[in-house]
Amino acid sequence: MAGRWKNDLKWSDVTPKPLWQNRRQILTGVGAAAFAGLAGPGRALAELAASPSAFSTDAAPNTLEEITTYNNYYEFGTGKDDPSRNAGKMDTDGWEVRIDGLVDRPGTWTMDDILKDTALEDRIYRLRCVEAWSMIVPWVGFELSDLLAKVGVQSGAKYVAFETALLPDVMPGVHARVLDWPYVEGLRLDEAMNPLTILAVGLYDQPIPNQNGAPIRLVVPWKYGFKSIKSIVRITLTADQPPTSWNQAAANEYGFYANVNPEVSHPRWSQATERRIGSGLFAKRQPTEMFNGYGAEVAGLYSGMDLARNF
Ligand code: MTE
């Protein structure tokens, strides 16, 4: 599938798996020098794929199996394994993303347009769901700010709104009114411009699977997972705070900000600890970190704000 995007090569072709698996050792070991020192075609090909990032955690990623079979994607059903069973029917060929609102160059972008001249990076991020489970996910993507720079954000823009595809023929979940479809999300513009905020198009060294939000989804690692909207078809720059699906469904439970915060409980459960998927039935829960451990990068965005009120 990725072949259409770049040079007729799939990511699985350009990044031999053993090399990918070595990369973390390479990075945490002698760093870039060792990476550059790799011999032969593997080196050039690896650089073609995605480069490593200083924003990655060195915690061990969850397995591909865990990441692709334990999902929240309510359009495909509310069970954790519903998305992996049902999302295969979604056709992402010819996917288009409309970018509009307060931008200089509104328009409709194909995945080729979006990925042209875009440097892909590996971003190994912690993911903390509002339901108090967590994973480590090795995304492949690029900074949202790169795309926003290409469309030209106008000075009146203060927020970015996102919308997921609504495909009733292949999405069994949208026939139930669990949420008001389509799924929508939003960020303040400065949150959207933060270098941690990415649009992911890959997972491990493959195009992102449908159940994880193919072909392009948001990842905002310091916020609860529901902010990280999947299968995006529209991005709109707005002056006013846009509506967001979970906030509309239950405003007392899900705020607009949704920053990971161990001190602010969900009305029905504590957010102080989390269960790491794959850690085993009897594993101890681990403490949840403020901003999911990304406070050094993002706490400044909220200085002076009461995060218990703006939850
Ligand atoms: N995006 C859409 N369109 N629909 C959803 O149901 N679920 C959210 C988020 N994005 C969701 C969504 C929630 S609650 C979480 S925790 C993450 O996706 C889960 O991402 P993952 O399945 O890739 O781990």
Each residue's pLDDT tens digit, 151-177: 999 999 999 999 999 999 999 999 999
Identify whether 308 is part of a domain. Answer: no
- The predicted structure's pLDDT at residue 5: 41
- The predicted structure's pLDDT at residue 92: 97
The number of the ligand 1 atom at minimal distance from the alpha carbon of 137 is: 24
Backbone angles phi, psi at 203, to 5 degrees: -145, 130
* Residue-wise DSSP of 143-205: EHHHHHHHH-B-TT--EEEEEE---TTT-GGGGSTTS-SSPEEEEEHHHHHSTT-EEEEEETT
Tell me how far the alpha carbon of residue 84 lies from the centroid of ligand 1, in angstroms. 12
Within a 13 Å sphere around the CA of 132, how many CA atoms are in the beta-carbon half?
A: 16
Residues with CB under 6 A from ligand 1: 71-75, 127, 129, 164, 183, 212-213, 225-226, 228-230
Q: In terms of C-beta density within 10 A (0-12 exposed, 13-18 middle, 19 or more buried), how is residue 65 classed?
A: exposed
Identify whether 4 is part of a domain. Answer: no
Q: What is the CATH number of the domain that holds 235?
A: 3.90.420.10
- The predicted structure's pLDDT at residue 278: 96
Identify whether 260 is part of a domain. Answer: yes
Within a 13 Å sphere around the CA of 101, how many CA atoms are in the beta-carbon half?
A: 21
Ligand 1 atom 10: the closest Cα is on which residue?
Answer: 229
Tell me how far the alpha carbon of residue 86 lies from the centroid of ligand 1, in angstroms. 15
Identify whether 214 is part of a domain. Answer: yes
Tell me how far the alpha carbon of residue 70 lies from the centroid of ligand 1, in angstroms. 10
- The predicted structure's pLDDT at residue 38: 34
Please provide the average confidence, as pLDDT, over all residues in the chain. Answer: 88
Residue in 183, 199, 228, 288 to alter for ligand 1 test, most ligand atoms within 8 A of Cβ: 228
Tell me how far the alpha carbon of residue 21 lies from the centroid of ligand 1, in angstroms. 26
Contacts of 150 (CB under 8 A, 6+ apart): 105
Tell me how far the alpha carbon of residue 228 lies from the centroid of ligand 1, in angstroms. 6
Q: Which range marks the domain in which residue 38 is found?
A: 11-302
Each residue's pLDDT tens digit, 53-75: 999 999 999 999 999 999 999 99
Residue in 68, 76, 85, 226 to alter for ligand 1 test, most ligand atoms within 8 A of Cβ: 226
How many domains, in total, are found in the chain? 1
pTM of the predicted protein model: 0.87
Identify whether 175 is part of a domain. Answer: yes
Tell me how far the alpha carbon of residue 18 lies from the centroid of ligand 1, in angstroms. 29
User: DSSP 3-state assignment of 25?
Assistant: helix
Sorting pLDDT into bands at 50, 70 and 90, what band is 205?
confident
Ligand 1 atom 13: the closest Cα is on which residue?
Answer: 226
Ligand 1 atom 14: the closest Cα is on which residue?
Answer: 226
Each residue's pLDDT tens digit, 100-156: 999 999 999 999 999 999 999 999 999 999 999 999 999 999 999 999 999 999 999
Ligand 1 atom 9: the closest Cα is on which residue?
Answer: 226
- The predicted structure's pLDDT at residue 43: 32
Tell me how far the alpha carbon of residue 252 lies from the centroid of ligand 1, in angstroms. 20
Tell me how far the alpha carbon of residue 27 lies from the centroid of ligand 1, in angstroms. 29
Tokens of 54: 């200083």
Ligand 1 atom 16: the closest Cα is on which residue?
Answer: 225
- The predicted structure's pLDDT at residue 271: 98
- The predicted structure's pLDDT at residue 259: 98
Ligand 1 atom 17: the closest Cα is on which residue?
Answer: 225
Identify whether 26 is part of a domain. Answer: yes
Identify whether 107 is part of a domain. Answer: yes
Each residue's pLDDT tens digit, 249-299: 999 999 999 999 999 999 999 999 999 999 988 999 999 999 999 999 999
Tell me how far the alpha carbon of residue 31 lies from the centroid of ligand 1, in angstroms. 33
Identify whether 309 is part of a domain. Answer: no
